Chains A and B, each alone.
Chain A
Amino acid sequence: MKIFRKLLRYWIGIASVLSFLGGWVILAHSPKPVSLQSAASSIQPAALPGLPPIQAYGATTSNGPTFFSTTAPSNPPASNIQPIQPVQPSQGMPLLRTRGS
């Protein structure tokens, strides 16, 4: 009976150690969670093949988004974007500003 108990103890001990090591190996090889490093800085803008900048207003696209410049070219070619003059709101016009909230 004593021998059986001893054997059982050894068996449980060895099985525990092996299970622990097995779990360790499995976890070490499992995919790691991706951390969101920064709401803004973690975004890595991917290259967007097939979406060339549109050079002139009036052009249309049916495949994918179109790129717009927010600054006027310093020496715009005649056929390129013609900056539109800022529209001056009427007196007392409140500042309407769209932004994420």
Chain B
Amino acid sequence: METLHLRAMNTDILLAAEGQADRLQAGFEQASGFIQSGERRFTRFSEDSELSALNRSAGKRFKTSPELFSVVALTRRFFHLTRGLFDPSILPDLKRVGYDRSMDMLRKLGPSPLLESLLANEHPSFSEMDLDESDQTILLPPGMALDLGGIAKGWIAEQAANILSGYAAACAVDAGGDMFLVGLPDGMEKWPVALEDPLQPENTLTTLMVNPGAIATSTITKRVWQQAGKNRHHIIDPRTGEPAVSDWISVTVIAPHAYEAEVFAKALLIAGPREAEEIVRHSGIPFTYLAVDQEKKIWGNQARLDYSYVNTEANYSS
């Protein structure tokens, strides 16, 4: 299996594919080009991105590209399916608690302390956003700004994997742990995917054996920073406008689509054990989840579970 590593979307990307070497090379070029153009379109950290232009247009109708329209339309669908726990309009809250620049810059320079003084939830409800499919326009109400970080990453990973699959018998696109798998490697019945220990990232909790499709993990232990003496993380609970406080520290979702896995991992992490099953039932989407608590116990909907576990790090080549 051939691999290509690149850095995009503030994370490490791995493309892996099986097939004829010359065709794989062309596939890697096409897929990586798509990832980089997707990042330029969807990042909120560049004033030149289409998403930034949309956010600046709040109060006026904005003509979008088909790609941006597709992803924003997905966000609206998942806002309803998760009962508002997935909400891309929490961007003002995310900035207020300090995530106002890329994570690399945040770690280097620290957050802006002044934003903490602003009030939480002082922005319009996401349900007030209007999409017009006939002319591909979006109207954000004044004061609304979107963060498409996670869902865009999942969407880009899936699209890139589909591009790469045109050149390969089997392939995977792993975007910082959120991945989309197409076909099966030669001689394999499933894809082995290590589930990282959220508290000790050098360790593996278990190895999941998954079918082609998507897998994504959301955690409160990775993108963390300090603001005015408080530890912060990037999973905002839309109900409070504050970093979520949950009984779980990470949630992994296995789903047909990467954007679904990404969205429900985040929503279930916010929901916690008391609401998780209700979110699963309400979604109507056949996905499996595995949640890790502070004691590293794994919880999930076993009825859908189909994986084997190991007790030690598997000896994979990388």
B120 CB to closest chain A CB, in angstroms? 10
Taking the complex as formed, is B260 at the interface, i.e. its CB lies under 8 A from any CB of chain A? Answer: no
Contacting residues, chain B, for A48 (C-beta < 8 A): 247, 273
Q: Which of B68-76, B81-89, B176-184 contacts A (4 or more CB under 8 A)?
A: B176-184
Residue of A38, A42, A60, A94 contacting most chain B CB atoms (<10 Å): A94
B312 surroundings in chain A (CB, below 8 A):
86
* A79 in contact (CB, < 8 A): no
Per-position binary interface string of chain A over residues 88-101, scored 1 when its CB falls under 8 Å from any chain B CB and 0 otherwise: 11111111111111
A68 contact from B186, B204, B302, Cβ within 8 A: B302
Beyond A96-B192, A96-B194, A98-B177, whether A67 also contacts B303 by CB under 8 A is: no
Q: How far is the CA of A44 from the CA of B18 in the complex (A)?
A: 45
Do A93 and B316 touch (CB < 8 A)?
yes
The interface-forming segment of B23-31, B51-59, B230-238 is B230-238
CA distance A10 to B10 in the complex (A): 63
B243 at the interface (CB under 8 A from A): yes
Please state if B302 and A90 are interface contacts (CB–CB under 8 Å).
no
Give how many B residues have a beta carbon under 8 Å from the other chain's beta carbons: 84
**Chain A contact residues, majority secondary structure:** loop
Docked complex Cα distance between A35 and B131 (Å): 38
**Complex interface residues of chain A between 44 and 101 (CB less than 8 A to chain B):** 44-46, 48, 51, 54, 57, 59-72, 83-101
Question: Could you pull out 19 A-B pairs where Cβ atoms are within 8 angstroms?
Answer: A39-B232, A40-B249, A40-B294, A43-B220, A51-B299, A64-B273, A65-B291, A66-B299, A66-B300, A68-B299, A68-B302, A89-B316, A90-B188, A93-B316, A94-B1, A97-B193, A99-B222, A100-B220, A100-B222
